[in-house]
Structure 1
Amino acid sequence: MKAPSIIHIQFVALRRLLGETKEQFCFRIRNMFQKIFEWIMSLRLFSWLYITVQNLLIKSLSVGPIPEHVSFIMDGNRRYAKSRRLPVKKGHEAGGLTLLTLLYICKRLGVKCVSAYAFSIENFSRPKEEVDTLMNLFTVKLDEFAKRANDQKDPLHGSRIRIVGDQSLLSPEMRERITRVEEITKEGQDFLLYICFPYTSRNDMFHTIQDSVQDRLETKLQSRIDIKKFTNKMYMDLYSNKCELLIRTSGHRRLSDYMLWQVHENATIEFSDTLWPNFSFFAMYLMILRWSFFCTIQRYNERNHSFFERMYEGVPSILKRKKKPMSLYQFPNPPLSVSISGEE
């Protein structure tokens, strides 16, 4: 008796699947679970539950200290596309969507400034096709952000964008577009986004030195160039002083010539093994929660009060145990003195 055709087809498909390599098999399984998860999240009940939990976590985190400046090294877009057998362009598009989602979250949490490492000067050494793809995608995202920043119904309304880096390496058309977008969003006061494009920290410091010396020669001022003046001349202006939380994805444990000046003062650097397009709200939430927890402890220590001491201070004086005065005769005898010169 022959098996039904549908069962026979499934057995053939299973035999082919088992005959594939381990890497292909893992890819198929991962892709299957991803589709199942996307289908579950598309259901109204689960979507409502996810949003409700997210709002609750954001409100609870907003009670404590929040970093003023959060920065992202968005690494892993190419590997994301390769792992899913997609064009590199799709990986960068997915990375852009992740950044937009996290910008919404940061603005709701009360973060004042977000910076993102979008394109390193070293990336010009990549294949021309990929560089052109990044440039075209960048222009599209610029226009999209400007549109959202001026839309009163969008959560990013009231935001300002600044593109920082060595713009002399960009085409005149790109520089003109950047100037136009910055002009459109210059009135934004609620939230500031720095896109580092193209950028390296060494280039930032080099240009700052050049500009500082040039201003000194032109104005002929006798005042010295101090750290504060030097810092305020960097690409990120007042936010060049420090970055409280720097997050890098994709598993690499290095800064790649990014934010070397900004992370010098009590910065928390978090490394995640997750590829940037897969970096979720919950992953960032846990990092900010950890930062908030240790920041609270640090602030208590700076005030020279432990948690239990503060609790003891809140107890009414009538309930506190009074310390008995100690007389001079109750102190222990001093230790024996010994001459180090040998003289008595």
Structure 2
Amino acid sequence: MKLIPAFVTNSSPVVWLNNFTRKAIANMLATGTVPEHVALIMDGNRRYAKTNGLPTQGGHEAGSATLLEIVDVSLQLGIRHLSIYAFSIENFNRSKEEVDLLFSLLVERLDTFLEHRERVDKAPAVRIRIIGNKSLIPPQTLYRLENIEKITQNNTQLVLNVCFAYTSRDEISHSVGVLVDKFVNHETTRVDIDEIAIYNNFYFGPETPPVNLLIRTSGHTRLSDFLMWQVCEDSHIEFLNVYWPSFTSYHFYAILVKYGYFESAQLAVDKLNSYTSSMISYVEDEPRKQTELHRLPPHPPFVSVLGKR
């Protein structure tokens, strides 16, 4: 439940103060270490709706509004790639009514994002990509999604990867299948099939950088078959005990501060290790002067502990 009434939070002074504060924090964070690629598991829409006495659709709509806010923050901070887990292949096991709702809601929200007059200055900056097994998406929905991809294909400020009908297992299977077909058709050789080749044939494509930061809301501490390959190395993972519709830009800011701190600390450690290694290498490589015994100065006279020579 909200502690502050909507008429207060939506009043002009409060809105102005909130926008001013967000902009100030974003400007501060932008001067530090900002992740290039952020991934989001937007979990908790249905539980948020149940907790607040809303229909399931109300929870999904509230979650969509949160996503628009995070996209705005990402644009302010200069984050280049934002990947969202919009629809897992496992979600096809839900009721047909909810699946249809999620399909229509996704297309509607993407259309709204492009057409909303208040966001006209930001929408042209975002390129939207649909990532996943498109053969599982109904033709009518797929047509509209691909049209949105086409409209935004030349935008470069932020790439919004919408993972729809996606799981990591399916993505890896897809990549291996592509490589097998290429091998059978003599388009590649056994020697060329390695980790890089598998990565380059993912749905994301080779142009997508590794995930720097992954955030999951709702309190669950699992990845749910999302970007399993991409986050296996050098990725910072945050599990937050808050439902996605309740996730705000301030939660995001706090996580980014933590991310920047650990990245800066790791950078300092790497520099220290590099310096230490270079010094050790220098000492080992430095030629040692050989001194002949006859060139040494004469030894002092021997004296016993009794003072006798």
Q: TM-score, normalised by structure 2?
A: 0.84
Amino acid aligned to 1:247: I
Given that 1:232 and 1:240 are in contact with CA atoms closer than 8 Å, whether structure 2 keeps it comes out as: no
The answer to whether the Cα contact below 8 Å between 1:234 and 1:240 also exists between their aligned partners in 2 is no
Give the letter aligned to residue 227 of structure 2.
Answer: M
Aligned residues: 276
Give the match's secondary structure for 1:111: coil
Q: Does 2:260 match 1:292?
A: yes
In the other structure, the counterpart of 1:183 is 150
Between the aligned partners of 1:55 and 1:262, the Cα distance in structure 2 is: 31
Q: Which residue of 2 aligns with 1:205?
A: 172
TM-score of the two chains, using structure 1 as the length reference: 0.75
How far did residue 132 of structure 1 move?
A: 1.1
| 8 A Cα contact 1:151 1:157, kept in partner | no
2:213–2:237 CA contact under 8 A, matched in 1: yes
User: Match of 1:189, as an amino acid?
Assistant: T
Match of 2:73 in 1: 105
- 1:240 Cα shift? 5.2
Equivalent-residue separation in structure 2 for 1:239 and 1:72 (angstroms)? 19
> Residues 22-171 of structure 1: matches in 2 within 5 Å?
30-31=1-2, 33-35=3-5, 38-147=6-115, 153-171=120-138
Tell me the SS of whatever aligns to 2:100: helix
Aligned-pair RMSD on alpha carbons? Answer: 2.3
Q: Secondary structure at the match of 2:185?
A: helix
Change (3 A) 1:172 1:67: same
* SS in structure 1 of the partner of residue 220 of structure 2: coil
Deviations 1:20-57 (A, max 9, x none): xxxxxxxxxx35x242xx33323332222221111111
Q: Structure 1 residues 151, 118: closer, same or farther in 2, change over 3 A?
A: same
- C-alpha distance in 2 between matches for 1:290 and 1:133: 36
CA deviation after TM superposition for structure 1 residue 242, in Å: 1.8
Larger RCO, structures 1/2 (Cα 8 Å, 6+ apart)? 2
The percentage of counterpart residues that share the same residue type is 37
Structure 1 SS opposite 2:9: helix
Aligned residue number for residue 183 of structure 2: 216
Q: 91-100 vs 217-226, which deviates more? A: 217-226
Q: Contact (CA 8 Å) 1:146, 1:184: kept in 2 or not?
A: no
Gaps of 5+ in 2: 277-309
Check the 8 A contact 1:231/1:240 in 2, yes or no.
Answer: no
Q: 1:163 Cα deviation (Å)?
A: 0.6
